[in-house]
A and B are shown apart, each in its own frame.
Chain A
Amino acid sequence: MDEQTEKSVSDIRTLARSIARSVQIMEVCGTHTVSIFRNGLRALLPDNVRLISGPGCPVCVTAQRHIDASIELSSLEDVIVATYGDMVRVPGRLGNLERQRGVGADVRVVNSARAAVRLARENPTKQVVFISVGFETTAPASAAVILEAEDLAIQNLTMLTAHKLVIPAMLALLADGEVPVDGFLCPGHVSVIIGSDAYRPIVEDHHIPCVVAGFEPRGILAGLAMLLRQIADADARVENAYETAVTPQGNEVAQRLMKKVFAVSNVPWRALGVIPQSGLDLAPAYRHFDALVRFAIELGEDLDHPQCRCGEVIQGKVNPNECHLFGTTCAPTTPIGPCMVSSEGTCSAWFKYNRPSQATRATGTEVKK
């Protein structure tokens, strides 16, 4: 253990003792969730400090209607569907993209929106549809690709956009009020784009401490120590434990790109329904890049598995092991809900990195309500 880690862990223990009550900290981002589990950080925390996972896994928050639309698009002739890896396994009403590929659909896994442009240029006789999901981390790249496609007059590229915004989701959780949150560990990558000032409404209007942290265990522990100090002092400020990458203003070039190409709109979230002003649609000037428009596809309804509790998991309302499907019907090889599919999903992390006693279904509830 390096010195800084040791100091953070010792600070966390001292502060937790002085707070002398149970505190609940939400790590908003799926990458944090995975890093916390992968590095075994929960084992280092005192009993009265609980971490709950929030709505920051791009795959997990994607509404089923978008998954269904992507499957429908993949079944069209001469269409190549390009998507980030995790999306291919998420079950919709009609199977998933991986199975579509098995029956002959052309589904390609790409690591960036730019790869979709390359696909479009390499396959001039095909239509390429990029499934554009993610938070503010991926949206600017999608925006840049739209502008490039417009510049180069690329006729065979469209996007199915299902981008989400982090702050409205956090505010919606607070407005719902069902899960008490004593502090937010705010996502590193998203904050690079939106800047740490973006969390001001949360500290100012709701008096909840916010600390931005990177994804290394050292950064996460430093962030948790900062949060506990604020909680101990009954303070609520935005602090930045990731100053090497995150500024108060964020990346203004990326913000301008998003603003130009997308319009903030009311969008559906997995199992949460439509949250006002919580996502991005293509702005009217770029609607011709909308795959739903080009292929005249209408978004259907979400028919989530009745017993799947992913919706509550992404709001921190229940732990994965409180879901009746967890570890039995729903496992990484046979996922029912997106939180088990995604490598960033809370259920997947619980299943992969916990001892079986913790990873199998619990009867009691561990989340404080």
Chain B
Amino acid sequence: MTRVGVRQQSETCIVRAHGGGGELMNKLISEHIISAFGNTTLNQLTDGAVLPAETSRVVITTDSYVVDPLQFPGGDIGRLAVCGTVNDLAVMGARPLGLSLGLIVEEGFELARLDQILSSVAKAAHEADVRIVTGDTKVIEHSGGSGIFINTSGVGSLDDRINIGLDRVEVGDAILVNGTIGDHGMAVMSVRSGLEFDTDIRSDAAPLNGLIHELIDAGVDIHFMRDATRGGLAAVLVDICEQSGLGVEVDESELPRDPIVRAAAEVLGFDLLTVANEGKVVAVVPQDQADMCLGLMTRHTRGRDGAIIGRIVACDLPLVELVTESGGRRVVQRPYGEELPRIC
């Protein structure tokens, strides 16, 4: 490859030198990253970010994003990378103080696509009211992946009064979810499988910290919370059972489900309980606060379709049981690995 070729390519695509610590890397940071979501902390470009600590406890979390396709109806890898980490902080009861953003980009990745992703990082961060305060960029050789991987870590402050944990889950507690389940997984799956429906199935990827803190601030004594991502609602409910030693009973007729998402799941043979979400929280609250919590939830934009879907029950075996719409009962388990579409 000639030097002229390299220069031309570096203006449209990521090349190895973009990760090399030199002039090209500086240009990438200032013209693409800082310009997308720069702020007083990030702009200092120091080795780490200094954040004001407002509480005696902080929460730290990290997650890597390798989604394929990079873009899907309702979001992209950039939006996921912000929302996922913000939500992990929020379900711990923490208020996000700042996020780090690590980019691993394959050489040859188009700069225009990178800009799109960075702009959606900026948009999601704005929605979540959180800043990207530090970051890193590496370029790897083209390996036939989807072109970019993102890692985000988040730090949040945890108020001393907050006490959320599986040890607080009690028989009689109500279980709520803030809206339709399985939207994200089915959106990604329908792009992957080339299935088209009359209406787009849109990912629910969204930051939940606003909703969650509204519940906390209003005085809901949330016993336990978790965002239902990979493994779907089923994985969260099974975790609750296994770790609390109590049973969970879910009413299928109360489960919020989008009719089109439901149809798509039927076609591909998926159980929506096991399909991924990126903007759904499962909250376990005292029975006498369930209606109040639901009221707050459904008045919030991120919880309009919220519902009380079940309860914690005493049982001989810690199982999740579904009372089906037809009046039958069956056990719910977490999926065994990646769920695969059925044949016919």
Which residue of chain A lies nearest to B323 when distances are taken between CB atoms in the complex?
A40
Output the residue of A34, A43, A138, A189 with the most chain B CB within 10 A: A43
Rounded to whole angstroms, the CA-CA distance of A59 and B341 in the bound complex is 12
**Contact between B325 and A134 (Cβ–Cβ < 8 Å)?**
no
**Contact between A333 and B337 (Cβ–Cβ < 8 Å)?**
yes
**Contact between A39 and B325 (Cβ–Cβ < 8 Å)?**
yes
Which residue of chain B lies nearest to A86 when distances are taken between CB atoms in the complex?
B340
**Contact between B342 and A343 (Cβ–Cβ < 8 Å)?**
yes
Whether A34 contacts B269 in the complex (CB less than 8 A), given A59-B343, A353-B331, comes out as yes
Whether A134 contacts B329 in the complex (CB less than 8 A), given A333-B336, A356-B317, comes out as no
**Contact between B326 and A41 (Cβ–Cβ < 8 Å)?**
yes
Which residue of chain B lies nearest to A37 when distances are taken between CB atoms in the complex?
B330
Which residue of chain A lies nearest to B329 when distances are taken between CB atoms in the complex?
A40
Q: How far is the CB of A305 from chain B (nearest CB, A)?
A: 19
Q: How far is the CB of A325 from chain B (nearest CB, A)?
A: 16
Rounded to whole angstroms, the CA-CA distance of A355 and B195 in the bound complex is 35
**Contact between A217 and B269 (Cβ–Cβ < 8 Å)?**
no
Number of interface residues of B (CB under 8 A): 28
Interface string of A87-126 (1 = CB under 8 A from B): 1110000000000000000000101100100000000000
**Contact between B344 and A217 (Cβ–Cβ < 8 Å)?**
no
Rounded to whole angstroms, the CA-CA distance of A221 and B324 in the bound complex is 14
Which residues in B have their C-beta under 8 angstroms from that of A353? Answer: 330-331
User: Which residues of A in the span 121-173 have a Cβ within 8 Å of any Cβ on B?
Assistant: 133-135, 137-138
Which residues in A have their C-beta under 8 angstroms from that of B344? Answer: 31, 58, 134-135, 137-138, 189-190
Whether A40 contacts B324 in the complex (CB less than 8 A), given A111-B193, A115-B194, A353-B331, comes out as yes
Whether A43 contacts B329 in the complex (CB less than 8 A), given A34-B269, A115-B194, A333-B337, comes out as yes
User: Which residues of B in the span 288-341 have a Cβ within 8 Å of any Cβ on A?
Assistant: 317, 319, 322-331, 333, 336-337, 339-341
CB contact between A221 and one of B268, B326, B330, B333 (< 8 Å): that residue: B326
CB contact between A9 and one of B323, B324, B327, B337 (< 8 Å): that residue: B327
A44 contacts the other chain (CB 8 A): yes
User: Which residues of B in the span 81-122 have a Cβ within 8 Å of any Cβ on A?
Assistant: none
Which residue of chain A lies nearest to B270 when distances are taken between CB atoms in the complex?
A343
A320 contacts the other chain (CB 8 A): no
User: With contacts defined as CB atoms under 8 Å apart, how many contacts are there between chain A and chain B in the complex?
Assistant: 108
**Contact between A44 and B326 (Cβ–Cβ < 8 Å)?**
yes
**Contact between B271 and A38 (Cβ–Cβ < 8 Å)?**
yes
Q: How far is the CB of A234 from chain B (nearest CB, A)?
A: 29
User: Which residues of A in the span 40-58 have a Cβ within 8 Å of any Cβ on B?
Assistant: 40-44, 58
* Chain A interface residues toward B at CB < 8 A: 1-2, 5, 9, 30-31, 34, 37-44, 58-59, 84-89, 109, 111-112, 115, 133-135, 137-138, 189-190, 215, 217-218, 221, 332-333, 342-344, 352-356, 359
> Could you list 19 examples of A-B contacts with CB < 8 Å?
A2-B325, A30-B342, A40-B330, A41-B326, A44-B327, A85-B340, A85-B342, A85-B343, A86-B342, A86-B343, A111-B341, A115-B194, A133-B343, A138-B343, A217-B326, A333-B337, A342-B342, A343-B340, A356-B317
Apart from A39-B324, A43-B330, A133-B343, what 17 extra A-B contacts exist at CB < 8 Å? A31-B269, A37-B330, A39-B325, A40-B322, A40-B327, A40-B329, A41-B326, A84-B343, A111-B194, A111-B195, A135-B344, A217-B326, A333-B337, A344-B342, A352-B333, A353-B330, A359-B331
* Chain B interface residues toward A at CB < 8 A: 193-195, 266, 268-269, 271, 317, 319, 322-331, 333, 336-337, 339-344
